[in-house]
Amino acid sequence: MLIADSQVHIWAAETPERPWIPQGMKRLQHMQHRLEPIGYEELKDMMDAAGVRRAMICPPTWEGDRNDLGIEASRRYPDRFGVMARIPLQRPEEAKQWILGFKDEPGVKGVRLTFSFENEVNWPKDGTWDWYWPFAEKRDIPTMLLIPDAKPQLTEVLKRHPGLRVTVDHMGIRGGTKDAGVEPYIASTEALAQFPNVNIKLSNLPSFSTEKWPYANLYPYMERLVRAFGARRCFWGTDLSRMIGAYGMHYAEAVAYVQQLPFLSAEEKEWILGRGLCEWLRWPA
């Protein structure tokens, strides 16, 4: 079975030569990620120990719009790492040039956009993101979205651009939401299943429950989404640095978590654990 993680972060320490965004450390601490940087060699070793073949590097928000470490990792290990690149969405012409430049980087598999932080939360509503969708549709750019609070706006985009390829991060749940509080987010994500070009990540799971392993109170919500989207459109992901930092979990435990879910067949586990993600990215095994 090909096991592929749909979301991991790697980053370097903040230095004068490599500054983070203002309040970057505060954001890292607030999100409960591991505080020490994670490099791709360490990540690869953890993947090897857990039987994870591939991982999609999502450059973290606290480093700003930079992709250099992810690209370096994909060049070094092209069959192990892909990159969902960040772009300066609020500067369209610059962002377009970035994207066009990625054509020379086969490790860049698509773009990841985030819309849950103070400087970007209004971008789906104030028109900032409008330019991106026809550009992405025309060029067939796979796009991952951290978009807990703007699904009505996303719905309108999907109606206008049926050729988009979109994956919604973390089941569409806002960070910090726990237990039964996830219900409205699950319902709004479930409604997106009507669009055949939308997928979801079953990722960052421990953060949504106050229970201990195996977070059984999340089972009904996960099962609803798998039944709505189908297993081929549900991608397992760890958000590994948060899992390590906040919950002290090992990579192998995250793989085992999906393996033990009682409502999934063996074939569904295969799709969720990696096959679906790789097919969506057109990244052959």
State pLDDT tens for residues 92-147.
Answer: 999 999 999 999 999 999 999 999 888 899 999 999 999 999 999 999 999 999 99
Round to whole Å and give the CA distance between 7 and 240: 8
In this predicted structure, what is the pLDDT of residue 234?
Answer: 98
Domain definitions of the chain by residue range? 4-280
Per-residue pLDDT tens for 140-191?
999 999 999 999 999 999 999 999 999 999 999 999 999 999 999 999 999 9
In the block, tokens 């409205």 appear at 184
Q: Which amino acid is present at 163?
A: G
Q: Which residues pair with 241 in a beta bridge?
A: none
Per-residue pLDDT tens for 39-76?
999 999 999 999 999 999 999 999 999 999 999 999 99
Handedness of CA 249, 253, 255, 260 (dihedral sign): negative
Is 0.95 surpassed by the pTM of this model? yes
- Residue 122's contacts (CB-CB under 8 Å, 6 or more residues apart) are 128
CA 227 to chain centre: 20
Round to whole Å and give the CA distance between 64 and 41: 22
What percentage of the chain reaches a pLDDT higher than 90?
Answer: 94
Provide CATH code, domain 4-280.
Answer: 3.20.20.140
In this predicted structure, what is the pLDDT of residue 285?
Answer: 84
Per the prediction, the chain carries an average pLDDT of 96
Reported as type and span, the H/E element at residue 143 is: strand 142-146
H runs (alpha helix) in the chain: 24-30, 40-50, 68-76, 92-101, 123-126, 132-139, 151-160, 183-190, 219-229, 240-247, 251-259, 266-270, 276-280
